[in-house]
């Protein structure tokens, strides 16, 4: 079976059975969002095994088995689940700068020499480490530190004069 035929057969199966499989997953776990995740996991694994299963005609049984096992796996390994952060412990986003301050900062950045501007943006705006910045720009870590120091000093001098 050629890949295009295989993909067409898989797509046809998914189109015909997805709603039913979602209901099965909901019946197993009792949560529509988790049911969607279980169906997605099952269909991903089914796609990998599709050539073997499609010829045997056991696609649906395979998907149901994956849904049940994935749900069991989720309950057995609770530390793998994503947990919401605790109130007050997650860092809050900084307040956005007023547009005048953003304009002044952008103008001050544009006044920096090109390499200092690149280093300051990568290090302090995007939050890359010294090593990541050096790798990104193809320069030594000492050069990153030097450009960063000089760039920040120049920005402080320019922005201190802004009313």
Domains in the chain: ranges and CATH: 3-80 (no CATH), 99-160 (1.10.10.10)
Q: What percent of the chain has pLDDT over 70?
A: 85
Of residues 61, 62, 37, 36, the one with CA closest to residue 49: 62
Cα separation, 14 vs 8, in Å, equals 10
Residue that is written with structure tokens 């010829």 in the block? 55
Kindly report, residue by residue over 39-90, the tens digit of the pLDDT. 999 999 999 888 888 777 778 888 988 998 888 887 776 655 555 555 555 5
Q: Is residue 157 scored above 70 in pLDDT?
A: yes
Split at pLDDT 50, 70, 90, the class of 112 is confident
pLDDT at 60: 83
> pTM of the predicted model, to two decimals?
0.47
Of residues 70, 81, 83, the one with CA closest to residue 25: 70
């Amino acid at each position: 079976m050629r890949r295009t035929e295989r993909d067409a057969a898989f797509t046809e199966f998914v189109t015909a059975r997805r709603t039913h499989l979602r209901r099965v997953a909901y019946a197993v776990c009792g949560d529509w969002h988790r049911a969607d995740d279980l169906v997605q996991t099952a269909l991903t694994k089914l796609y990998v095994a599709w050539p073997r299963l499609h010829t045997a005609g056991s696609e649906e049984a395979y998907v149901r088995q994956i849904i049940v096992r994935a749900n069991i796996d989720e309950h057995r390994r609770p530390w793998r689940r994503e947990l919401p952060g605790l109130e007050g412990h997650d860092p809050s986003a900084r307040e956005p700068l007023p547009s005048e301050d953003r304009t002044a900062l952008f103008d001050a950045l544009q006044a920096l020499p090109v390499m200092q501007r690149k280093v300051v943006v990568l290090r302090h705006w995007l939050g890359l480490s010294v090593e990541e910045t050096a790798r990104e720009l193809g320069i030594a870590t000492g050069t990153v530190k030097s450009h960063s120091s000089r760039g920040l000093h120049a920005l402080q001098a320019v922005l201190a004069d802004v009313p």
